[in-house]
Amino acid sequence: SLVLVTGGNGFIAAHCIATLLRSNYRVRATVRSSQKADDTRNALASAGVQNLSHLELVVVPDPTDLQAFSAPLQDCQAVLHLASAFNYDAVPGEFEEKLMIPAVRGTQVVCEAAKQHSTIRRVVIMSSFASVYDASLGLQPGSVYTEKDWCPLTYEDGVNAAAVPIAYRASKVVAERAAWDYVRDNSVQYQLVTLCPGMVFGRMIHPISSLSQLNASNQIVWQVLSAGNEGEIPPTKAPVWIDVEDLSETSIKALTFSGTGHERFLVTQGSYDTQEIADIVRSRLPERQRVPVGEPGKRIADTHYSCDSSKVQRVLGVKFRGLEQSIIPLAEQLYDMEGC
């Protein structure tokens, strides 16, 4: 069957496309320019992705345009929506245009367009742990988040945010709420599944030509890897995570599992902190690293909230790898890229 993936040139999307193709799905992926279409195909080919002849890349310059977005859904059985601005470049005054509208209107357009195509049975939206937790409450040691929790930020909070991380979190939660509102208020033939992953780490197969283009979550790892032996370990923010390949397996399960209702899943392997990343890289790649020592073995896990993601593991039957297995291939790739 045919799956539409939005934002096909992104870090997570590339892995989702690879997993779908490997599992014998046909994939149609949207990108915003023909250059990005070419770059995506080339990057996936270089990464050895199988069945690339079953991938079609289509250019949709403005994914908030319902008519332009609807045509690519023709003959699709499912949609996996990943396109959303996840970078911290915007400054106050730009948040509505650069973060809120693309996220919220982009998600509404996916829901509306999917209703226009009766072949579509499932819509999977990549939301975020940002849509789940309330960052204003601080570290909250002892609190356990599940998919029942909702970040309280509103559209106005995003537009008027003092700093871009708040605007990003608002864009994710308001976009996800828009999808839930849509399926509540309209009779849809598809099931909605939203996934709320923590920070996503792992080796990259999407088009990226330099470390300056590194996606936001892998930047956290690179900041540790490149801090220098004499440097400080950067502070840990939003300290729950998932591996990118495990998230793409979860996404494919979300597209295909036999459940009959709408579902929301929290997708995290567990807690991480930047000291742990430093410890892993110092012990496993001693010849390559220039990582601060910090306080080896010190962990912040007991000082902040945690997550219970047992629902996704039970319902979708997925298992998640540990931090070392995710970080080492990424670290090797990043040090290689730096040498380019």
Residue 104 CA, chain-centre distance (Å), reads: 16
Task: Considering the complex, state which of residue 85 and residue 113 has its C-beta at the smaller distance from ligand NDP.
Answer: 85
State in angstroms the smallest separation of the CB of 232 from ligand NDP: 23
Distance, in Å, from the CA atom of 236 to the CA atom of 328, rounded to the nearest integer, reads 18
DSSP for 106-171? HHHHHHHHHHT-TT--EEEEE--GGGT--GGGTT-TT-EE-TT------HHHHHT-SSHHHHHHHH
Using the 8-state DSSP alphabet, how is residue 172 labeled? Answer: H
State in angstroms the smallest separation of the CB of 64 from ligand NDP: 7
State in angstroms the smallest separation of the CB of 217 from ligand NDP: 3
DSSP for 229-265? TTSPPPPP-S-EEEEHHHHHHHHHHHHH----S-EEE
Task: Considering the complex, state which of residue 32 and residue 288 has its C-beta at the smaller distance from ligand NDP.
Answer: 32
User: How buried is 287 (Cβ within 10 angstroms: 0-12 exposed, 13-18 middle, 19+ buried)?
Assistant: exposed
Q: Is the distance from CB of 158 to CB of 95 less than 8 angstroms?
A: yes
Task: Considering the complex, state which of residue 109 and residue 119 has its C-beta at the smaller distance from ligand NDP.
Answer: 109
Task: Considering the complex, state which of residue 67 and residue 118 has its C-beta at the smaller distance from ligand NDP.
Answer: 67
State in angstroms the smallest separation of the CB of 70 from ligand NDP: 16
State in angstroms the smallest separation of the CB of 195 from ligand NDP: 8
State in angstroms the smallest separation of the CB of 32 from ligand NDP: 4
Task: Considering the complex, state which of residue 92 and residue 296 has its C-beta at the smaller distance from ligand NDP.
Answer: 92
Name the closest residue to ligand NDP (Cβ).
10
Among 277, 241, 239, which Cα is nearest to 139's? 239
Task: Considering the complex, state which of residue 37 and residue 227 has its C-beta at the smaller distance from ligand NDP.
Answer: 37
Residue 225 CA, chain-centre distance (Å), reads: 21
State in angstroms the smallest separation of the CB of 68 from ligand NDP: 12
Distance, in Å, from the CA atom of 127 to the CA atom of 199, rounded to the nearest integer, reads 12
Task: Considering the complex, state which of residue 119 and residue 215 has its C-beta at the smaller distance from ligand NDP.
Answer: 215
Among 7, 44, 47, 3, which Cα is nearest to 25's? 3
State in angstroms the smallest separation of the CB of 338 from ligand NDP: 19
CA atoms within 13 Å, Cβ hemisphere of 67: 0
Task: Considering the complex, state which of residue 222 and residue 290 has its C-beta at the smaller distance from ligand NDP.
Answer: 222
Task: Considering the complex, state which of residue 290 and residue 330 has its C-beta at the smaller distance from ligand NDP.
Answer: 330
State in angstroms the smallest separation of the CB of 286 from ligand NDP: 28
Distance, in Å, from the CA atom of 307 to the CA atom of 297, rounded to the nearest integer, reads 22
By CB under 6 A, name the binding residues for ligand NDP. Answer: 7, 9-13, 32, 36, 63, 82-86, 102, 106, 126, 128, 172, 197, 199-200, 215, 217
Looking only at the bridges linking them, the beta strands covering 270-271 and 240-243 are: antiparallel
Lookup: tokens for 56: 């079609």
